[in-house]
Structure 1
Amino acid sequence: MEAPVTSRSPTPGLARFNALEERAAATALHEVCASAEWGRRLLAGRPYTVVDDLLAASDAAMAGLTAADLAEAVAGHPPIGRPEPGDAASAREQRGMAGAPAELGAEMLELNLAYQERFGHVFLIRATGRTGEQMRDALRRRLANSPEQEREITRTELGAINRIRLSRLVTEDPTAA
């Protein structure tokens, strides 16, 4: 499983992020999380001294999102098993469904639809490092949750996804081929 980077020292990627013009930084953050409020809160905290500070700011911003902000963030994610064409991040994160047997794919589609009908949004899980079967089993379990329980689990999962994506943003070399 891919773990978020933690660092108590500055990284070149963090320096690049801090130096981005506001609009470019907002765009980069929107690719991490579709919540405009989450992005605003992280922008307001720049510059970040170390990666841990950025990740802590992300956690705090996630904890402070309203139900509407959370819905906006979740709306930026495709259903498990159906990453957006051309979206390298969701394809990479959902790798556990790549090559899954047709029966598992069909079951995930059915469960995703039941979840969406029950909760009004796509099933969200930190898919990185999980197999298709693990995601299916989690989806089955979570269908029994109350809407309130599910909202908080979704918030936690989204926070984990954001940490992974932010870590990648500030550690990957954008000039590497």
Structure 2
Amino acid sequence: MPPAIPAQQAAARHLTGLVRFNAAPQGLAEQWLLGCCGSRRWAERVAAHRPYPTLDALLAAADEAGYDLSKADLDEALARETAALPHPDAPPAARTALGAALAAYEASFGHAFVISLDGVPAGERLNQVLAGIRSRLGNEREEERVVAAEELRRLARSRLTRSVAGS
């Protein structure tokens, strides 16, 4: 039998994590999901539709539940988010710039800045966050809610994937 290749190993980890998620009691599954998206309704809905045959099926259900968030659900999820802090080794000027940008964003929109950084190399993340804040500060409140909701869905997908793989 040939040795497992990385893609097969990742698939095996996802399957093991998915089996655990599917078998978890409802309350535990919801708590697990709340770590991915802070909307209680979203977590209840995704947990209620178990078992999921594949990670892709779980992610599709998470997306669908994310698109159905009410204003109150989105507010709850955004209230549970915290802005990412720069790496401690980031230059002081960069930490200051990020702190000021995050404060301006939160003052304008009333919630933490959310952005998915999947696929962005670690060395480029601070610049990506700063550029995202700068570009989104010009949004109208409702336009920004739409953007933030999409970023929250993307974050939930990546958190779910990591959570299932690491469970």
Q: State the distance in 2 between where 1:59 and 1:48 align.
A: 14
Partner of 2:141: 147
* Corresponding residue number in structure 1 for 2:117: 127
Instruction: Answer with 129-138 or 17-26: which moved more.
Output: 129-138
* Structure 2 residue aligned with 1:171: 165
Contact 1:35-1:69 at 8 Å conserved across structures: yes
CA deviation string 1:20-43 (max 9, x = no partner): 011111111111111101101101
Counterpart residue type for residue 139 of structure 2: N
> Which residue matches 1:19?
23
The answer for unaligned runs of 5 or more in structure 1 is: 1-5, 82-96
Aligned to 1:29: 33
Q: Which residue of 1 aligns with 2:5?
A: none
- Whether the 8 Å contact between 2:26 and 2:48 is mirrored in structure 1 is no
Quote the residue 2:92 is aligned against.
102
Q: Distance in 2 between matches of 1:131 and 1:168?
A: 18
Distance, in Å, in 1 between the alignment partners of 2:48 and 2:25 is 13
CA distance in 1, matches of 2:79, 2:97: 22
Shift of 1:80: 2.5
Q: Quick check: which one's helix share is greater?
A: 2
Q: Which has the larger radius of gyration?
A: 2
Structure 1 distance, partners of 2:97, 2:109, is 18
Q: What is the rounded CA distance, in whole Å, between the counterparts of 1:166 and 1:79 in structure 2?
A: 19
Distance 1:165 1:80 in 2: 14
The TM-score normalised by the length of structure 2 is 0.85
Distance 1:170 1:120 in 2: 31
Report the count of equivalent residues: 151
Unaligned runs of 5+ in 2: 1-9
Do residues 112 (structure 1) and 102 (structure 2) align? yes
Cα distance in 2, alignment partners of residues 35 and 80 from structure 1: 19
CA distance in structure 2 between the partners assigned to 1:49 and 1:157 by the alignment:
26
TM-score w.r.t. the length of structure 1 is 0.80
Following TM superposition, where does structure 1 have runs of at least 4 consecutive aligned residues deviating by more than 4 angstroms? none
The residue type equivalent to 2:57 in the other structure is D
SS at match of 2:35: helix
Q: CA RMSD in A?
A: 1.6
